[in-house]
Amino acid sequence: MQGDRGRISAAQIENSINGDFDWLTRTSLVSLENTVNRAGGSYYNIEQVKPIQKLCKCLRPKN
C-alpha cells in the first residue's frame, strides 16, 4: 500500500479490508508505525490517526 511518505489513510485501510467471504481471512488488525530516525522518515500526528481510529471502532465486531 502506497501512502504519503509511508503514511496511509483511513480510506486506504477501508479499501484494503477483506470482504466477508468464507475463503478470505477476516481483517482484524491495523498497525501504524512512526519511522523517524537519522535517515528521515515520517510520523502520524493525532489528526491523521483520529479517522483511522474511528474506522477501526466502527468496524470492530460486536460481541
DSSP for 1-63? ---BTTB--HHHHHHHSPPS-TTSPPP---------BTTB-----HHHHHHHHHHHHHHSPP-
Domain count across the chain:
1
Domain assignment of residue 34, yes or no: yes
Domain assignment of residue 5, yes or no: no
Written as tens digits, the pLDDT of the chain (63 aa) is 888 888 899 999 999 998 888 898 888 899 998 877 776 778 899 999 999 999 999 987 776
Give residue 49's domain range.
10-59
* Rounded-to-integer distance, Cα 10 and Cα 63, Å: 24
Domain assignment of residue 1, yes or no: no
So what's the pLDDT on residue 16?
Answer: 92
